[in-house]
Amino acid sequence: MSRSPVIIVTGASKGIGLAVTRILLNKFNANVVTLSRTITPGLRDLASDRLLTLECDVANESALLESIKITIEKLTYIDGLVLNAAVINPVCRIGDDTPISAWKDHFDINFFSLITSIKATLPSLRKSELGGKIVFVSSGASVKGFPGWGPYNASKAAMNSLCRTMAEEEPSVVSVALRPGVVDTSMQTVIRDQDSAKSMGERQYKIFLDAHASDSLLKPETPGQVIAGLSVYCPKELSGQFVSWDDDVCKSFLAD
């Protein structure tokens, strides 16, 4: 590799995004730009001359565009884009009294920010001599209908569709959607909140309680290794696909 790759990671302040950032810096010697609403202590601990941390609410189109402009001005290149920023709220039933505005706010973060990010970075990704990569951090919810997760199910399904379309429209950029598994993040804390049980139903709710109690949730670093690897070295044959972190095609990115 003639130079270090430049990778943008959204939602990098904690959880999977923070783990991906750490792995890109330490394992791949990448230059990383993080976009997050806050600069957390965990992110500050990674301070490096190869890390640019920008405070940015990805749902704010002008702020997102400005952050990408700053990235290009400071680092010249963009070689990879890890689209990780997401929320699960509102946890609700389609027929309850949750306002449509809450669904729209959810899609502003989980879907429309993806389009803003892609449109702004595409010129750089297309001309990357390292080969432009986009990793969409998806979910098993994208192909299921978990009760109480209507907005999340729909936004992640839309993400997968966007990934497939990108692969068709932009053959020079490799786009892949990845299921990271059930990971021990703040999103799981929201899911385990007692209020979520009302929308999810007791059976579904208990699955997540039991997963936490049995310590079977994945650490963010586990899928984080795969996401980081794909953002630098994703093979072209995966473009447009929805894969799981533990599929055979991803195992080469897992540490020994």
pLDDT at 46: 97
CA neighbor of 195 nearest in space, from 155, 148, 144: 148
Residue 249: inside a domain: no
The secondary element (H helix, E strand) that includes residue 117 is helix 113-127
Catalytic residues: 138, 152, 156
- Judge whether residue 217 has pLDDT over 80: yes
pLDDT at 131: 97
Burial 203-233 (b: 16+ CB within 10 A, else e): ebbeebeebeeeeebbebbbbbbbbbbbbbb
What's the CATH number where 225 sits?
Answer: 3.40.50.720
Portion of the chain with pLDDT greater than 90, in percent = 83
- Judge whether residue 190 has pLDDT over 90: no
pLDDT at 256: 56
- Judge whether residue 195 has pLDDT over 80: no
- Judge whether residue 235 has pLDDT over 60: yes
Amino acid symbol at 234: C
- Could you tell me the residue range of the domain that residue 78 belongs to? 6-181+220-243
- Judge whether residue 196 has pLDDT over 90: no
Amino acid symbol at 75: L
What's the pLDDT tens digit per position in 87-113?
Answer: 999 999 999 999 999 999 999 999 999
Q: Give the pLDDT band of residue 207 (cuts 50, 70, 90).
A: confident
Amino acid symbol at 98: T
Amino acid symbol at 119: K
Residue 121: inside a domain: yes
Residue 251: inside a domain: no
Q: How many domains does the chain have?
A: 1
Q: Are 9 and 82 in contact (CB under 8 A)?
A: yes
Average pLDDT over residues 249-253: 93
Residue 252: inside a domain: no
- Judge whether residue 194 has pLDDT over 80: no
Q: Give the pLDDT band of residue 234 (cuts 50, 70, 90).
A: very high
Residue 187: inside a domain: no
Residue 99: inside a domain: yes
Portion of the chain with pLDDT greater than 70, in percent = 98
Report the alpha-carbon distance of residue 187 to residue 87 in Å, rounded.
Answer: 7
User: Which pTM value belongs to this model?
Assistant: 0.95
Average pLDDT over residues 130-139: 98
Residue 232: inside a domain: yes
The first and second tokens of residue 28, run together, are: 């791949």
Q: Give the pLDDT band of residue 184 (cuts 50, 70, 90).
A: confident
Q: What is the mean pLDDT of the chain?
A: 95
Residue 215: inside a domain: no
Q: Give the pLDDT band of residue 1 (cuts 50, 70, 90).
A: low
Average pLDDT over residues 136-155: 95
